[in-house]
Amino acid sequence: MSKNNSVHSQLIKKKLPTHVGIIMDGNGRWAQKKNLSRSKGHLEGLSAAKRVVKAAADINLQYLSLYTFSTENWKRAENEVKYLMFLIKSYLKQEYKFYKKNRIRVFHSGDLKQLPPDVIKTIQLVMDKTKTFNGLRLNLAINYGGRDEIIRSVERWLNKTKHSTTITEDDISDNLDRPEFPAADLIIRTGGDKRISNFLLWESAYAELYFSEKLWPDWQEADFLVALNDYQQRQRRFGGVV
């Protein structure tokens, strides 16, 4: 029995998380270790993303959010940012057949306004072309920051209810970028660092955290399944007592 099949057989379908978020960290360090350009690291990171998305679709995971480009990533070198924008646009166009075959519906979180027009157009096109697919809901967090999302949620609420002075948790949840996505059950971070870096701050209030030392380009299906298996061993209390 292969390692993947062995880990897969240990998963309990009814105990799978509903919504998993992944901080895909380590592309640059992976490239540096191999004396390659950072661009090559990001390219290999895309391959890892496809492997994990396919694994998620194969086990019928319902929701997956990938931290693709943060609001802080604009601070990187101009050439690297341009290449990342190119990769995002090219990947979304090239992978439509993959989404169709696996019935993956694509969503976006983040502030679209700051993105290049061609990237905005591509994101909107892929979301529209996949909107009837009924498999995995894949959320790409592009130009996304958790604090920024909460601010924009409050702004949306204010624009709808200018006469009101009281805001509730439900008001914020209902005005997030993806209100149709449930709260995150599991947040995975690769690359060795142990922080959530402004990702799904509101949605991950009671999420389980899983940190992997392995750099993102090296991640395989088995790594994802191991993380899910680890999640299934946790006892979730949501602030209460079990």
Identify the active-site residue in 25, 148, 177, 223.
25
Q: Is 25 a catalytic residue?
A: yes
Q: Contact, 67 vs 144, CB < 8 A?
A: yes
**β-bridge pairing 186-189 and 19-23:** parallel
End-to-end Cα, the chain, rounded Å: 36
Catalytic residue among 4, 73, 102, 229: 73
How are beta strands 186-189 and 208-211 bridged, if at all?
parallel
| Whether 177 is catalytic | no
Catalogue the active-site residues.
Answer: 25, 73
